[in-house]
Structure 1
Amino acid sequence: MILNGTKFIETISYLEDLAMWDLETGQSHLPVFDQAMLFTSYNLYTDSRSGVDPHGASYTEGVCEIAARTSVIQAVDYIWTVWATAHELGHSLGANHDGEKKGIACKAEDLYIMTPSVPYMYRGRPYSRNPWMFSKCSLEAFKQTLKDKDCVKTKGNYFNAADYKAIVTKKPGETITHNEQCHVIKGSKSVLCETAAADICLLMRCTDPATGICLEDYYGAASGTTCGYNMPALCELEQINRKPLLYRHGMDNN
């Protein structure tokens, strides 16, 4: 479908095709897995909301079930895609949106991972860690789904102690620069807007990689990031929790 010059791909068709691939050939081509996710740069839409692009689709409670353990996710920027991935995995593990069905007892406006809309940071609301957490409703749904799913109880030999130690020895902000964080979030040509901003721990703005203009979306700098140009202080979780941080809702509803 073409809308205002932009091509959209029907999400459910992609999801069904991926499920069919899993049924016919998936397990023979890959190591044993509990969930398969397809990431695409195409714009997604669903028939019920034509013209409005959802972030993805999954089969609710589909984890571990062949031809249902699949998700399709639109890859945008790093932060957005990570959130969408956690959100779609939440559906596969049995969670509905907060405020709906099994999530009816939890409020969508509390902005947990299963809120219907993508939470972005911006000036105007108090800081919340909720967008990185699942609500009580979601956790209860996971427990109910997984109690009968034997596949997730299978132990795999994937842990490497040396690799783990190398990763956790330093904080993320100590291993990548401010500009490199913008590369990860917005693209390889994006850089930090305010290199000496004292509040960078909460309000780190990056440039549009195409135009060089500072974007209005705000992201918190990674833990361990220096708080400005040549400044010795580091961004720490305790420091971040004391300061205000706000969110802008996206238009997604899946």
Structure 2
Amino acid sequence: WEQSHVAVRKVSRRSVSKERWVETLVVADSKMVEYHGSDHVESYILTIMNMVTGLFHDPSIGNAIHIVLVRLILFEEEEQGLKIVHHADKTLASFCKWQKSVNPKSDINPTHHDVAVLLTRKDICAGMNRPCETLGLSHLSGMCQPHRSCNINEDSGLPLAFTIAHELGHSFGIQHDGKENDCEPIGKRPYIMSRQLQYDPTPLTWSQCSKEYITRFLDRGWGFCLDDIPQKKVLKSPIIAPGVIYDVHHQCQLQYGSNATFCEDVDNLCQTLWCSVKGSCRSKLDAAADGTRCGENKWCFSGECITVGKTPEAIHGGWGVWSSWSHCTRTCGAGVQSAERPCDNPEPQFGGDYCTGERKRYRMCNISPCRKGLPTFRQMQCSEFDTVPYQNEFYHWVPVYNTANPCELHCRPIDGHFSEKMLDAVTDGTPCFEGRHSRDICINGMCKVLGMFACFFLYNFKKLQENGMYLQLQFISLNWGFVSCTPLKPDRFFAFNIFGSKSRTWCLVETTLAPCTELGIVCPKSWNHTKMQLEGTSRSYLFHPFTESCSSFDIFHIFFLKTSSDGNSTFLIGHWHTLSEDFLF
């Protein structure tokens, strides 16, 4: 799947935060409808999905993700072709096959979904056809794959929202905290992606590892189906705190059954919800839902009992300052440096929007060739595992190239006949394929096409004087191929003459100026004067390619100028860049 679908999609050379819309189908089985009642089950599900949306709006996830309910199916009897049993794996397989069959293929269909969520009262169990403690199951990195973008969830009351968010996290490629990462919440409150659903009075958030997993997933282009805005008004209920809709008695019944009630003699309701079940108080150690009454004119909010109505207003996020460039990943042979900026000026809070725009950028560094005879960069990365035992043995590892996923690190013992994937991604700056003349390298786990590339910018010009035209308004920018282009900064503008002889000096004018040329055009100190050839009528010109030098950075340009009768002009500039240490992508 990855080779046939991802490779043909445009890959950004920067990490860009942009809004994503996860169009969601929710299916409730007959046991759900029977338990909650046909008159109340829809309201319950909408409340749950509002909570899920809130979890994905938490700033700790590091992305602007909207969970959008586009279709809700309620079964009042068993559905033919959908088999829901205790065995979670079999149920997931059946549901994934069924949901694909009911999903319109066209993405513009208003009922088309990106992910399908099954809610069931069946006590499911991973790997066994009997009840156990399993709460949900999904495919890892299944988002946007029609046959794998699906999950099943066991109803457990309002905490069902955390189960759904957890399983959706897996669909985004998020691993459990503590599995092959350093985010095990030892001695700390749990995260949404903890191995087991653990309750805590403070709101659950996403770990730093979860943020990195989902950002990597999106930056690699695997969330391509989430870019379109839903085609119609989505299904949602008014944003009402769940504790307002379901009082403490109802919350206990959702967890323990219709005979459960709230334990009246227990303090700190907003910290821990205690329920009376068959005469004894029991708790899953979760807090009462936000909006639950906790005293006269008071309700619970984020684990605290506060005055009713005093909920903080949403604070939308803003970008902070760019970090310094990181250390170069290589000392020779073309490494990579990165810089990033946080969404903390201010940090979004209370449901505020997460920042959108460029969050991480890369540039080349140390591009001089390495000395002959040195191990390749990929060989060096494999050799780091020589001191790590593999099945109680030590091996000398050498690289194996995987054409389908060239930026994964695969290694084999030098005298062995098997290979292992050691890392999901090689170090930035590693060549995608050894021995090729191509200068393609791996950045953030993706093979980036370097060397020549093209950018096009369309500008508007306004005639300001008889002898020249100057940049008035930046109009649009277009990318070609695997390219992300940076338009000129506002403090730069173009100046050129279009009268007299056919050859005229042209230059880029910056805030730092040099003396005027013989033609009266002011040029920056760091740019050489260049010549361009004009052809055509007085209203349309083709500027032939030419080269200008700026340090070691060569840029080739093609210009198209069209002048309207009112003196305004449209100016299209094409850039062909060659690789240099200043190369920013």
Give the TM-score taking structure 1 as reference length: 0.70
CA drift at 1:226: 3.0
Q: Distance in 1 between matches of 2:96 and 2:243?
A: 38
Unaligned runs of 5+ in 2: 1-84, 307-585
Which of 77, 92, 97 matches 2:176? 97
One-letter identity of the residue aligned with 1:39: L
Structure 1 residue aligned with 2:69: none
Partner residue of 2:124? 44
Instruction: Please say if 1:234 is aligned against 2:276.
Output: no
Q: SS at 2:117's partner residue? A: strand
Answer yes or no: is 1:113 the counterpart of 2:183.
no
Q: Does the residue aligned with 1:13 lie in a helix, a strand or coil?
A: helix
Report the Cα offset of residue 62 of structure 1: 0.5
Which residue does the alignment assign to 2:113? 33
205, 213, 235: which is aligned to 2:274? Answer: 205
Task: Calculate the TM-score normalised by the size of structure 2.
Answer: 0.33
Do the aligned residues in 1 keep the contact of 2:158 with 2:251 (CA within 8 Å)? Answer: no
Amino acid of the residue matched to residue 158 of structure 1? K
SS at match of 2:226: helix
User: CA contact under 8 A between 2:202 and 2:303: conserved in structure 1?
Assistant: no
Q: Which residue of the partner structure matches residue 17 of structure 1? A: 94
SS in 1 for 2:152: strand
Aligned with residue 134 of structure 2, among 45, 54, 71:
54
> Structure 2 residue aligned with 1:182, among 235, 252, 272?
252
Structure label with greater radius of gyration: 2
**Letter of the aligned partner of 1:18 in structure 2?**
F
Aligned mates of 1:84, 1:117 — CA distance in 2:
10
Decide which of 191, 212, 216 is 2:283's aligned counterpart: 216
- In 1, the alpha carbon distance for the partners of 2:153 and 2:242 equals 25
For the residues of structure 2 that align with 1:20 and 1:238, how far apart are their CA atoms? 40
Provide, for residues 14-48 of structure 1, a one-character-per-residue CA deviation record: whole Å limited to 9, x for no partner: 2222222234x121499111111222333323338
The root-mean-square deviation of aligned C-alpha atoms, in Å, is 3.2
Secondary structure in 2 aligned to 1:14?
helix
1:78 is aligned to 157
Aligned to 1:4: none
Q: Which amino acid aligns with 1:152?
A: L
**What is the deviation of 1:91?**
0.3
Match in the other structure for 2:224? 150
Contact 2:124 2:134 in 1 (8 A): yes
Q: Distance in 2 between matches of 1:81 and 1:63?
A: 20
Q: Distance in 2 between matches of 1:52 and 1:176?
A: 27
SS of corresponding position for 2:300:
coil
SS in 2 for 1:37: strand
Match of 1:207, SS state, is strand
The number of residue pairs the alignment matches comes to: 213
Q: Which residue of 1 aligns with 2:561?
A: none
**After superposition, what is the alpha-carbon deviation per residue over 1:166-221, rounded to whole angstroms, capped at 9, x for unaligned?**
x35xx444454332333344444322111x6442221221223xx35321333322
Question: Distance in 1 between the 2:150 and 2:256 partners?
Answer: 26
2:127 is matched by which residue type in structure 1?
D
Distance 1:88 1:198, change over 3 A: same
Partners of 2:270 and 2:303 within 8 A in 1: no
Q: Is the 8 A contact 2:174 2:214 kept in 1?
A: yes
Change in CA separation of 1:173 and 1:43 when aligned onto 2, cut-off 3 Å: closer
Contact 1:57 1:72 in 2 (8 A): yes
Whole-angstrom CA distance in 2 between matches of 1:212 and 1:189: 10
The higher-RCO structure (CA 8 Å, 6+ apart) is 1
Residue pair 2:270, 2:305 contacting (<8 A) in 1 also: yes
Q: Deviations over 1:56-77 (max 9, x none)?
A: 21111101211010112222x2
Separation in 2, partners of 1:32, 1:107: 37
Q: Which residue of 2 aligns with 1:124?
A: none
Partner of 2:213: 141
CA 1:226–1:64: 2 relative to 1, 3 Å: same
| Structure 2 counterpart SS, 1:227 | strand
Distance 1:181 1:74 in 2: 16
* Other structure's SS at 2:282 match: coil
SS in 1 for 2:86: strand
CA distance in 1, matches of 2:191, 2:269: 23
Cα separation, partners in 2 of 1:32 and 1:176, compared to 1, 3 Å: same
Question: Could you tell me whether the CA contact under 8 Å between 1:190 and 1:212 is conserved in 2?
Answer: no
The one-letter amino acid paired with 1:134 is W
| Residues 141 and 170 in structure 2, CA contact (< 8 A), matched pair in contact too | yes
CA contact 1:191–1:207 (8 Å) conserved in 2: yes
Is the alpha carbon distance of 1:183 and 1:44 closer, same or farther for their aligned partners in structure 2, counting shifts above 3 Å?
Answer: closer
Query: Is 2:262 the counterpart of 1:192?
Result: yes
| Cα 1:217–1:65 shift into 2, 3 Å | same
Gaps of 5+ in 1: 1-7, 122-126, 242-254
